[in-house]
Every structure is written in structure tokens, then in C-alpha cells.
Structure 1
């Protein structure tokens, strides 16, 4: 089967089989190290939306704000006053965008299900955030390249996603239990992405990565 599979991030073919649980297979790209679920084992768009509709994230939830602070704090430290941002994949209860607006950073939001205004993807930004988003992407190579193309020189892409540590840890990893999680990044994957797209890469927290577009 590996001969018919290609990596959704870099396009390389013939990945290695990485793991199988009771529901799905996981393959790892030999080039960029992305671990991914094959297309025929992903949810339909309708079933995916049904899972997202169960989310109860809210700007009024202090615990959720504290969770988002792990990205908000290190990213805001790197931004010029009044920098303009985009929250990509904002979900049904946009909160990170509100946190940035409260701190003086004008924000746009985009979400394919809940805020599908594609005009937001035709502007330039000083920074873009995507919290708990990249693990859901069916075509992360295309989506990440598109987001980076929207950044002005020196702009930041801030991502929150749990990272693959090892094959042994992956077997016990609860992060794979969510059926909408189909792509799993490691530090090696983000370093590959940084080299590929000329981005400086930083890891300020265990589930946060910041990529800066070079001038």
C-alpha cells in the first residue's frame, strides 16, 4: 500500500508503516517525518463537522484562555505594537483572536466551517495563529504554504499542536484518539518545514512552535 501513498506535507512517496491501532493506520514520511492517517481512513466532512460542533470553547472560559496563553504569551512578545493578525481555524468560539484584540492587535478570523470568508485569505498579515489546527489538515503542505504566503517579511506563524516524541510514546498517545486528528508533527518535521520555506523555527513550549518568515 505504501507505494500508492504520498505524504500530505511534502509529497514524498512510499512512507513507512508507523503504527496501527483498533481504528486506523499511521504512516511516517521518510523525507519530512510527518506521521499521517491515509486518506481512506479519514472522516467525511459531515462527520468531521459533527465532532467540532461538540466543542464548547468560549472566551468566557478562564481555563481555555490559560491554555491559549501558551501561544499568546511568546508570540505577543515578538510582535510590534498594532501588528495585524489572522486566527486560522478559529472554531465555533473564537477566543485567541479576542485575546490579541484586547492586547491591541487587530485580528481577522477564518474557519472553513464557522467563518468561511475566503476574503480573509487574500490579505497580508504580520502574524497568523492556528491553535490545535494543523493536526486536522488533510492537505497540510498546501495550507501551510498558503498561510506563509500571506505573511509579510519578518512575520510570524504561531502554531499549537502536540508533537510526536517517539514511536514508543506514540503507541500510548491519547492525541491519536481524536478521529479528526490525521497529521502529527515532530520537531524534525517543523525543522524540515522551516528549511523548505525559509522560516526561522522556535519551540517556546512543548506544544507550541513559532516560525518567522525571513526578510
Structure 2
């Protein structure tokens, strides 16, 4: 089943990248996104059932340490009492809590756990989205929305593991999560930064900051 077009840039120039026992993976030759075709997506009910099995909670020190890789570099660049959005926060919005403890206000949005559409109608000094972008069926639309919601000078702080090459992809545990349907590389984020006019920083191996120019 051939993928018809790239969900990030709409290019029809896609090629087969890898196949495992469960799914096919395609790569766009324009933005280099690796993705799963919609025919092999889980249903919404199947997807939520998997998310419901996650055991992250606000008392989990390990989860806090994991998120600190985004929290620490983001917090140091925020002005006091910044306003932000935690998009895809899940049932235990730990990162939002950590930022709120520093005096920032953080709105919550999650398709399944905090489906507050009003949160998507405000503008923000920062947006954080950790381990979310790889789940998005329409990343182009969501990225466009995020950029619109960001104030000038605002930072989009993302966490997702990056594709390196097809050899490592073939044995990569990250692709085995059936809710992961889009996989990004440094080249893909360079495309995103150029397309949306953002400044790109790779903060850590799986932490990416995209900043909207102040002017």
C-alpha cells in the first residue's frame, strides 16, 4: 500500500523506507519525514487504550528527570510570569506543573485528556510539546497552528527522538510503538524551520527548540 503524499509538506515524491512485521514506513524526498500511511493507523479507541496504560504521574521522580531535559533549558530563557501552552500534556501534566512552580502560567491541551479548545484560541510566550509530534497524523496543520499561537520571540519546545539512518531505524525501538506514526530527522526540522521562518536549535539528542523571530 503506497503512501500517496507526505503529511508534512504534501510532496508526492515519497519512497518506501522500511518494512517490519506490522507496518510500512515511507520517506519524503523533500522534507525527509519518515511516516506511516493512514491505512496502517490505529483507531482513536485503540490509540487511547495504549495511552491509558502509561503510568506517568506527578509524584514520579523519573518522569520529572526525563522532562527536565526540556524544562531546564526552556525555563532559563523565559521571562518572569510567561504564558505557555502544554500541548499533548497527557493525564499527568508534569511539565506544566514544573513551569507553574516557577511562576509561569501554563494552559493545557490534550486531545484525549484535556480537550479544551479554548486553549487553542490564545497566544503564548512558549509552547511545549513533549513526545507528541511523532503521534500527529497531520503535523503540517498542527505546526502551522503552533506558529500562529506563538507570540514574536516565543519558543516552541519539542521532544522527540530523531531518525539517523535506515540501518539504525530498522532496529529502533521507537518505531515499534504503534502510536508513533511520524519520525523526524535533523533535516526534517531544518525544513520546518525554513518553511515557518523559525530559528532552530538542537538542545539535546531529543530536544528541539524552534523560536519565532521577535520582529
The alignment's TM-score, normalised by the length of structure 1, stands at 0.98
Render the CA deviation track for 1:154-212: whole Å, top value 9, x for unaligned.
10000000000111110010001100000000010001000000000000100000000
Aligned residues: 214
Contact 1:55 1:92 in 2 (8 A): no
Unaligned runs of 5+ in 2: none
Match of 1:41 in 2: 40
Residues 135 and 182, structure 2, Cα contact 8 Å, conserved in 1: yes
Extract unaligned runs of 5+ from structure 1: none
- Give the corresponding residue for 1:201: 200
Q: Tell me by how many angstroms 1:14 deviates.
A: 2.9
Match of 2:97 in 1: 98
Secondary structure of 2:82's partner?
coil
The separation in 1 between residues aligned to 2:141 and 2:37, in whole angstroms, is 17
Contact 2:69 2:207 in 1 (8 A): yes
Q: Corresponding residue for 2:52?
A: 53
1:184 aligns with 2:183: yes
Secondary structure at the aligned position of 1:49 is classed as: helix
SS of aligned partner of 2:104: coil
Deviation of 1:110 after TM superposition, in Å, equals 0.2
Separation (CA, whole Å) in 1 of partners of 2:72 and 2:8: 28
Instruction: State the match for 1:141 in structure 2.
Output: 140
- Residue 150 (1) aligns with residue 149 (2): yes
- Name 1:172's counterpart in structure 2: 171
1:132 maps to which residue? Answer: 131
Aligned to 1:114: 113
Matches of 2:142 and 2:42 in 1, distance apart?
18
TM-align CA RMSD:
0.8
